[in-house]
Copies of this chain bind each other. A is one copy, B any other.
Amino acid sequence: MPNMKHIAKMAGVSLGTVSHVINNSARVSEPLRQRVLEAVDALHYQPSALARGLRRDKTNMIGMVIPDVTNPFFPAVVRGAEDTAFANGYRLVLCNTDNSHAKEMEHLEQLRTYLPAGLIIIPSSFGKLSEEVESFRRSGAAVVFLDRMPRNWKGDSVTVSNNDGAFRAVQYLIQLGHKRIACITGPLHLPNAQERLAGYKRGLKLAGIPILEDYVRKSTFDRVGGYNDALALLRLRNRPTAIFAQNDLMAMGTLLAIRELKLRCPQDVSVIGFDDLDVTELMDPPLASIRQPGYQLGSTAVQMLLDRVNVDEVRAAPGQHRVLGTELRIRESVAPPNATIGGKQPTR
> Which residues of A line the B interface, CB within 8 A?
1, 44, 46-51, 53-54, 59, 61, 68-70, 72, 74-76, 78-79, 82-83, 86, 91-96, 98, 103, 107, 109-115, 135, 138-139, 223, 252, 255-256, 278-279, 282-286, 344-348
Residue numbers in B under 8 Å from A115 (CB-CB) = 48, 50
Does A114 lie within 8 Å of B49, measured CB to CB?
yes
Does B75 lie within 8 Å of A79, measured CB to CB?
no
Residue numbers in B under 8 Å from A110 (CB-CB) = 46, 49, 91
Question: A72 is contacted by which of B61, B72, B83, B345 (Cβ under 8 Å)?
Answer: B72
Residue numbers in B under 8 Å from A75 (CB-CB) = 69-70, 72, 74-75
Cα distance, A96 to B82, chains bound together (Å): 7
Cα distance, A279 to B275, chains bound together (Å): 15
Does B92 lie within 8 Å of A94, measured CB to CB?
yes
Cα distance, A70 to B83, chains bound together (Å): 12
- Contact (A255, B284) CB under 8 Å given A1-B138, A79-B69: no
Cα distance, A86 to B98, chains bound together (Å): 11
Cα distance, A74 to B112, chains bound together (Å): 27
Would you give the shortest CB distance from A97 to chain B, in whole angstroms? 10
Number of copies: 2
| A92 nearest in chain B by CB position | B94
Would you give the shortest CB distance from A100 to chain B, in whole angstroms? 11
Question: A346 is contacted by which of B49, B82, B286, B345 (Cβ under 8 Å)?
Answer: B345
Cα distance, A346 to B284, chains bound together (Å): 13
If A68-B79, A91-B107 are given as contacts, then 15 extra A-B residue pairs at C-beta distance below 8 Å, sorted by A number, are A44-B135, A46-B113, A48-B115, A50-B115, A69-B69, A75-B75, A78-B94, A82-B94, A91-B95, A92-B95, A93-B93, A93-B94, A282-B283, A345-B346, A347-B348
Would you give the shortest CB distance from A347 to chain B, in whole angstroms? 6
Can you list 25 pairs linking A and B with CB atoms under 8 Å apart? A1-B135, A1-B138, A1-B139, A44-B135, A46-B113, A50-B53, A50-B59, A50-B114, A51-B54, A54-B54, A69-B69, A69-B75, A72-B72, A78-B94, A79-B96, A82-B96, A83-B98, A91-B111, A92-B93, A223-B278, A252-B279, A256-B282, A279-B279, A282-B284, A284-B286
Would you give the shortest CB distance from A206 to chain B, in whole angstroms? 32
- What 5 A-B pairs come out closest when comparing CB atoms? A284-B284, A94-B94, A49-B113, A69-B75, A50-B54
Question: A344 is contacted by which of B86, B95, B109, B348 (Cβ under 8 Å)?
Answer: B348
